[in-house]
Amino acid sequence: MGLKRLTVNLRIAVVQLNPQIGHLEETVVRAHSLVRRVERYQPDIVVFPEFALSGYSFHSRAEISAHLCRPQEGPAWEFCQQISRKLSCVTVMGYPERGDNQQAYNSALVVDEEGKLAFNYRKSFLYDTDEEWQCAENPAGFQAFELPLKGKARDHDGHVHDVKLRSAIGICMDLSPYKFKAPFQECEFSTYQLEHGTELLIVPMAWLHASSVTRDTADPATGKAEIARTMDQLGLPLHGSQNQFQVNIKLRDGTCEEECPGNGTLTSAPSDAGVASSYSDLSRPDQQNLDYWTIRFMPFLACKWRENWFVEKALKPILAKFKGSRFTYLGSSLKAPWLFENKNALLVLCNRCGAEDGATVYAGSSGFLKFNGQYGNEEEILNSSNRSVELLGNLGKGYEGVIVRDVSFEIERDL
């Protein structure tokens, strides 16, 4: 008995949707249509966005009340059960949860291949919109759980093993600093997952594009006008693209299937269009957000300066401020310069696309990042081009669609 290095091989499908409030049935039809596009490839895991079927921009408890469901009730639960049982896969989907004592949560279901509830995660860090309908924070905070997968790991001798992956769900704002006020470098979610040895990170999102009008927008009326003008130039309704599917499938056996709708590109933009003009090239991912998501996982990224922090014992006074609530800072501990060195983890990002309220534009760009635990003494670049990050593929920012990848990463188990 002893630690053995195992290679985990998974086929994961990520479905990007543009759900609109009050249009549940239409969204369910499109979601099923996208699943049918990939069911013959027999994915092990299928992931959907935050509030995948209901739409996201609710502005009061009264508005969202009819959409709240218990974890094993309602349209999201029924949909996930259908997909899991039909494809014998794990299904992950965000939904609005009705809790006890009049509490409501922004949650995500994890349904196993038999259609049983494997885990229910509640969002910990809330965005402005969540607070408008009195969403409650997860009382348990960030969490990790074991996800059983049969026959998905192989040792160096070729023997196949069942495995329980150390897994976690994060929902959108969980990746950001708490209330946008905590120090950026604390990286709360990724630090928690590093310290708990998480190997598979799945993040359903309703993440905004930079053109969105938010509480911090200086001139909301102008911002909304720019969004309307951009959508019009793209030949899209104000809520963005629907039923124009982007398909991106690349498998280990050489299977490659790619489809991309229309132009979705602004040939020219008004000189005063500002950031709204960046909502173009809809089949391409939003690089600004890809870089942001990457840097929010700084504890998993290679960074050559950690060695100096370790040698100079610079971490001790920093960690003392946390009073035992954590034992790492940006991936470094008092015992090792980089706790993640020579380890692997897979990040699955599932964002929605489209727009709501004529003000909120979503960034899409769903896809996969693998952290390889290498280049710890060399790397200086702190964005998605960091060599310890492997970009395995992304959908574009503006179209509904599905991306499928065969992913491999290494874990250690005592066998």
Those residues with Cβ within 8 angstroms of residue 54's Cβ, 6 or more apart along the chain or in another chain: 19, 21, 24, 67, 75, 76, 95, 96
The pLDDT of residue 415 is 85
Q: What are the average pLDDT values for consecutive 10-residue runs of the chain, which has 415 residues?
A: 90 99 99 98 99 99 98 99 99 99 98 99 99 98 98 96 98 99 98 99 98 96 96 96 98 96 53 58 96 98 95 93 94 97 99 98 99 96 97 98 99 93
Angle at 227 between CA 207 and CA 203, to 5 degrees: 10
- Distance (Å, whole) CA 367 – CA 13: 9
d(CA 129, CA 18): 17
Q: Which residues contact 121 (CB under 8 A, 6 or more apart)?
A: 107, 108, 110, 138, 143, 168, 169, 171
Residue 278 has what pLDDT? 83
* Residues sharing a CB contact under 8 Å with residue 198, sequence separation 6 or more, in sequence order: 144, 166, 167, 168, 345
Torsion angle of alpha carbons 380, 382, 388, 389, nearest 10°?
-160
The two three-digit tokens of residue 356, written as one number: 């709501």
Q: Which of 370, 363, 355 is nearest to 395 (CA)?
A: 363
Please give the pLDDT value at position 265.
Answer: 53
Residue corresponding to tokens 């993640």: 340
Q: Which domains does the chain have, with CATH numbers?
A: 10-303+338-414 (3.60.110.10)
279: Cα separation from own chain's centroid: 20
CA atoms within 13 A on the CB side of 115: 10
The answer to whether 64 touches 104, Cβ cutoff 8 Å, is yes
Using alpha carbons only, what angle is made at residue 11 by residues 9 and 16, rounded to the nearest 5 degrees? 145
Q: Which residues pair with 94 in a beta bridge?
A: 108
Catalytic residue among 89, 123, 260, 350: 123
321 is catalytic: no
Q: Is there a catalytic annotation at residue 123? A: yes
Q: What is the pLDDT of residue 268?
A: 39
Q: How far apart are the two ends of the chain, measured CA to CA in Å? A: 5
pTM: 0.96
Q: Is 260 a catalytic residue?
A: no
Helix 74-87, helix 24-38: angle, nearest 10: 10
Q: Which of 69, 89, 172, 187 is catalytic?
A: 172
pLDDT at 277: 53
Strand partners, 92: 47, 110
